[in-house]
Amino acid sequence: MKSDREINREIAKLCGWFDLTTHFGHSRKDVDYGWHPEHHPKEKNYYETPLPDYVNDLNAMWKAEEDHLIGDDRGKYINELRIVVGNEWLAKYDSSWHPYRATARQRAEAFVKVMEGKA
């Protein structure tokens, strides 16, 4: 099983973040930073920012889902999410089931599999 940090970094890369770095020695924990895909590092007065916490923040996952799951990927994502939450039977036989109660971590795992073409 991948760590939260590994999944967060994978999703950030899939969402277009670049030049990811880790700043060590922060008072609470090490923090991963990068350049947001809508900005360029040479812009005046723009600094690298902490990566979103996709595995713990439903809002961050919602943004990733909305921006990057297009067309057939949405259906693949729902099926993969059904499997991740532990009900493969539903994924195969019940198309009316919608995994709206999935955690951010479960959504993140399914997102990575679909976006990397493994689902």
Range of the domain at 33: 4-115
pLDDT 10s digits, 51-100: 899 999 999 999 999 999 988 898 899 888 888 887 666 656 666 666 77
Confidence of residue 24 (pLDDT cuts 50, 70, 90): low
What is the average pLDDT across 7-29?
77
Residue 26 clears pLDDT 60, i.e. is over it: no
Say if residues 34 and 21 touch (Cβ distance below 8 Å): yes
Please report where in the chains the tokens 């277009």 appear, as a residue: 16
Domain count, the chain: 1
Report pLDDT for 44: 55
Q: What pLDDT band is residue 10 in, cutting at 50, 70 and 90?
A: very high
Q: In terms of DSSP H, where are the helices of 1-119?
A: 4-14, 58-68, 72-84, 88-93, 104-115
pLDDT higher than 80, residue 19: no
CB neighbour class for 94 (10 Å; exposed up to 12, middle 13-18, buried from 19): exposed
